[in-house]
Amino acid sequence: MEEELGQIIEECRIAVEDPGYPAIHQWLEDNPDGKVLGHFQVYFPEEIAHAAGMLTLKMMGFDSSVQIREADAHIAAFVCSILRTSLEQGLSGRLDFLNMYVTTPICDAARHISGVWTRRFPEMSCQILYLPQNAASPHASTYLVGEYRRIAGIIEEITGTEITDEALRASIELFNENRRLLRELYRIRRETPWLVGLTESYLLMASGGAMPRERHNELLGRAVEIIRSRDRRPQDKVRVVFEGGYCEQPPIEMLSVLQDVAYVVDDDFMIGLRWLTEDVATSGDPMENLAVAYLEASSYSPVQRDPRKPKEDMLLRRIRESHAEAAIVAAPKMCEPGLEEQVAYDAALTEAGFPHLVMEFEEKTANFEQARMEFETFAESLLFEFV
Amino acid sequence: MEPHNVAIRPALSRAGNTREASRALMSDWWTQLGEADATAAPVANTFVMGSLAEVLNAFDIPMMFPEIAALQTAVKGKSMDYLLAAEDIGYSPDICGYVKVDIGLHNTGREHPLGKYPKPAMVVSSNMCNTYIKWSETWERQYGCPVFVLDLPGWRGTGFEYSSTSETFRNDVKYVEGQIRDLIDLASQVSGKKFDIDKLREILGRVNRMSELYQAILAMNKNRPAPFNALTEGINYMGIANILRGQPEGVEFMETALAELEERVAHGVGAVPDERFRLLLVGTACYTNFREFVGMFERWKGVFVASEYMSFAGGGIDRGVRYDLDRPIESLAEQILITAQPSMSGIFFSHEWQARMAEEYDIDGICYHGVKSCRTTAAGLPDAREWLLNNANVPGLFIQSDLVDSRLWAEAQMRNRIDAFFESLQSRRVQAGV
């Protein structure tokens, strides 16, 4: 069974790490008339595209395997790495299969991406989805339904397929299953973190953004079964929460270093894939159900304003619910919202007397010795403290 | 470079009126804020893009514009004191300098070089800059004041048309109108005053007038020579347009400014003597070294005849605000979407606007000034520059420094690049036989 799990994880690794997007190309080979929608972080209601038969690709950045050759000439130097690497993917032609690209105005730098894509790819439909930033407003859900319908209309034009309520309900079911499996994976992480490594879990989760969700459900479902049946003993490691991976992702090698010294019992990596925290209802108006779920049954991130979910309180809740003993509060280099939130997280954790490490990371980092030293020192200091 | 000739300028009866008025009004603004702080009267923090001054003024709530206050600390040579105070408490060198100046002020006794820096009793933020929201949350945490976020959906992408009859526009108006009504309730609670729709109507009428005047002021620079420098005098017009939006003094100021400019045009007086190069500024200015920055262009007899700054930071006033006074709240929602929101979206898709401005204002070149402090205005500038050169044949200069962080000012490097740009503009003229 371990061999089978190894194969599953290898397939996930290729989907996440290979800048040539093999899983997408495979789907296009199988569906020669298929259309692909790319969307930038953090959240996009992929069910809407799926209901029209479109494949979605959640844009991630890349590590040093992607050399920046053109992107730097199109975007200022003081932006984060994921904006540059994802743009590089577009400018280098590796994303030529995209028929539509959707960004959401998550931060001031990312808002420029839509401008750059519009200028560089005038033939492609580059759309901006304005998710509500006044999420607590009583008017937000009506507005969001209208916005989802607008996007659905464009998808219908591109695919030539009408998005019926029945099709959308079926897609919601498929994605509900995906969310259930991800919740189960994270439950295992919280309750028995010794059964699954951080990198395994990360690859199993993140690959959902870069392959057909049907295939992801198959892989994830089987992987969860195997992980559950593992016979492993807990080690003397500190239980930590990692916060700061809602958009740009830390390099997998960095996660590997981290899992050597700690059990990461919860995190916000690729939080958009797990933004909806419960099953979305399939009865009634499915578009409305998606909009309501976005606003009412959802996670949090520094780039969504919702006064009902103060970020510090949400982090403390994540820590509490995962029984973590410490937190790593990270932010990608040059990520303005992440760096700003980091100060608030630091203050809240300090006030709560909760041990935490504040750090920055960059997806293109190639040397992990400093990270190893930071993690080890932090973990050792905690072990001494607990003794 | 050509020798600097001393121009003999005719004495003008209105010369200096605008500058004097601007100084007096700015001083009054600080006095009013200081008095509010001393008497614990509620002050609203708001921002130049999407300020909703119309609503706040309807309740007589004094407004603090922290962006304006922050740039003033830089002009006064004090920004680094506050900025470093914020970094001392954990804020990164890689975030907006305005935010850090403000945080520094709030954490070091709230003494601004121009007056007492008040505590906010409420905040109006908009999504026109995402940093506004994060910034507002710092006051929410520090003072527990309510934060109202005006969420304005912007330009949506390829093929988007925002006609008043489109379903998207109607959906957006409904959303924004609902939010404005929520803000009216909040402002009423904070101020303890009842909402007076006739007062709002009067304010809207004055914004309409200010907008007409502001547009007329901008159009003055289509003249050759351009009567004002959009970077130096433009900042004053924009500052007053924001702090006195919808106030009688704001209208008077715009009339004063326009009259002075008309007189300059009538006498052929330009902002820069012997004007040679007409420039568009895209991005923002550098306030820590404002004089030096402007001087590097003026020594080549270059004048900024227009700036993107005067558009997006004017809260839509440059686009012709036309409130329908018979439907004040509905019209406020519609006009914000038609005027202010495109000013914001325009920052990200400004290439066509730049090409149009280059033609209308007979512009020789565009200066793209990227500031690390402000991703909103700066992140996409290199791409826009290339587009303009290749698609509209307008040369561009890309330089970088900062709004308020003097550590990012590199004078020699900046001067070299600017000089090289002007040399290339001269050479283009020679080649074109002009």
Is B375's CB within 8 Å of A78's CB? yes
- In tens, the pLDDT along B98-129 reads 999 999 999 999 999 999 999 999 999 999 99
**Chain A residues touching B384 at Cβ < 8 A:** 115, 119
How many other β-carbons are positioned within 10 Å of the β-carbon of residue B247?
Answer: 18
**Dist. CA B376–CA B318, nearest whole Å:** 19
What is the model's pLDDT at position A233? 95
What is the model's pLDDT at position A298? 97
Give how far Cα B158 sits from Cα of A92, A114, A127, Å: 21, 10, 6
What is the model's pLDDT at position A387? 60
- Please say if the pLDDT value at position B392 is more than 80: yes
Residues of chain A numbered 320-379 and touching chain B (CB < 8 Å): 331, 333-334, 336-337, 339-344, 346-347, 358
How many other β-carbons are positioned within 10 Å of the β-carbon of residue A6?
Answer: 12
In chain A, where do the E strands start and end?
36-39, 55-58, 98-103, 125-128, 238-243, 262-267, 326-332, 356-361
Structure tokens at A294: 């976005």
Band (pLDDT 50/70/90 cuts) for residue B162 is: confident
**Chain A residues touching B175 at Cβ < 8 A:** 137, 139-140, 142-143
Q: Which of A79, A108, A350 to mutate to test the interface with B (most CBs of B within 10 A)?
A: A108
- Please say if the pLDDT value at position A38 is more than 90: yes
Chains A, B: CB contacts within 8 A come to: 176
- In tens, the pLDDT along A238-248 reads 999 999 999 99
Is A140's CB within 8 Å of B151's CB? yes
Structure tokens at B124: 């109006």
**Chain B residues touching A343 at Cβ < 8 A:** 89-91
Band (pLDDT 50/70/90 cuts) for residue B374 is: very high
Is B168's CB within 8 Å of A125's CB? no
- In tens, the pLDDT along A224-280 reads 999 999 999 999 999 999 999 999 999 999 999 999 999 999 999 999 999 999 999
- In tens, the pLDDT along B61-75 reads 999 999 999 999 999
What is the model's pLDDT at position A386? 66
**Dist. CA B153–CA A143, nearest whole Å:** 10
CB A57 within 8 A of CB A270: no
DSSP B222: T
Average pLDDT of every residue of chain A: 96
**Dist. CA A174–CA A53, nearest whole Å:** 13
Q: Which of B49, B162, B167, B348 to mutate to test the interface with A (most CBs of A within 10 A)?
A: B348
Cβ neighbourhood burial of A298 (10 Å; 0-12, 13-18, 19+): buried
**Dist. CA B39–CA B26, nearest whole Å:** 20
**Chain B residues touching A307 at Cβ < 8 A:** 147
- In tens, the pLDDT along A72-113 reads 999 998 999 999 999 999 999 999 999 999 999 999 999 999
Band (pLDDT 50/70/90 cuts) for residue B8 is: low
Nearest to A112 among B99, B159, B348 (CB): B348
Cβ neighbours of residue A383 closer than 8 Å, sequence gap 6 or more: A236, A238
DSSP B7: P
Is B380's CB within 8 Å of A146's CB? no
What's the average model confidence in pLDDT over A122-145?
95
Closest approach of chain A CAs to the CA of B322, in angstroms? 25
Is A114's CB within 8 Å of B157's CB? yes
Chain A nearest-CA residue for B373? A78
**Chain B residues touching A78 at Cβ < 8 A:** 94, 370, 372, 375, 378-379
What percent of chain A lies above the pLDDT cut of 70? 99
Is A118's CB within 8 Å of B349's CB? yes
Chain B nearest-CA residue for A149? B168
Give how far Cα B391 sits from Cα of A31, B227, B324, B387, Å: 37, 29, 38, 6
Alpha carbon B53 to its chain's center: 14
- In tens, the pLDDT along A294-320 reads 999 999 999 999 999 999 999 999 999
Band (pLDDT 50/70/90 cuts) for residue A1 is: confident
- In tens, the pLDDT along B218-231 reads 999 999 999 999 99
Nearest to A79 among B129, B172, B375 (CB): B375
Chain A nearest-CA residue for B135? A340
Nearest to B95 among A105, A127, A339 (CB): A339
